[in-house]
Amino acid sequence: MIRLLGAVLLIAGGGALGLGAVARLDGRVRDLGELAAGLDALQRELGWRLSPLPQALNTAVRTTHGPAADFFARCAQGAERGDGKSFQEVWREGLTVVPLRLKPEDRTFMERLGSVLGRYDGESQRLALEDAAAGLRSLQGAAADDRNRLGRVYGVLGTAAGLLTAIVLL
């Protein structure tokens, strides 16, 4: 009886590991979408309403959820305080500190945008934000494809690894 319970727990644990990997893939898709929505809000505020950068970032906070909202809030606070840091440094620090579920190439993509914001006229910033939002949506589509393709594989592999371990130990 105890062996059977142990085997079931091993299989469930392997399945849980697989589902955890799927959750990480899904989190990346959500974070990319939320960041794109925040960039759309920034684009409207900076390009059309010509709002100051901290105010535009606070609007992005209100239109996003989760880690993306935390990221924009951190950037808004850094832009308001100043602390002798450039906005590019504040942006990069936000990408590092906030637990966004991004790949290194996603972070690099976002870091490039930080060098444009707050430095150029509204139209240049609007165009950069428009391009960045489109790029993030493209990355989000690729991440969704990965999630759909690899999600099933991770789930099956996790369960199979648990099953194999249970068989070996029995």
Q: Model confidence at 71, in pLDDT bands (50, 70, 90)?
A: very high
Q: What is the pTM of this model?
A: 0.82
Is 120 a residue whose pLDDT tops 80? no
In a domain? residue 114: yes
In a domain? residue 1: no
How far apart CA 120 and CA 7 sit, in angstroms, is 62
Q: Model confidence at 157, in pLDDT bands (50, 70, 90)?
A: confident
In a domain? residue 2: no
Number of domains composing the chain: 1
Whole-angstrom CA distances from 161 to 88, 148, 149, 157, 167 are 45, 20, 19, 6, 10
What is the tens place of the pLDDT at every residue in 10-57? Answer: 888 888 888 888 888 888 999 999 999 999 988 888 777 777 888 888
Is 154 a residue whose pLDDT tops 90? no
CB 76 within 8 A of CB 59: no
In a domain? residue 67: yes
Whole-angstrom CA distances from 119 to 31, 47, 115, 127 are 26, 13, 8, 13
In a domain? residue 3: no
Is 84 a residue whose pLDDT tops 90? no
Q: Domain range spanning residue 47?
A: 8-169
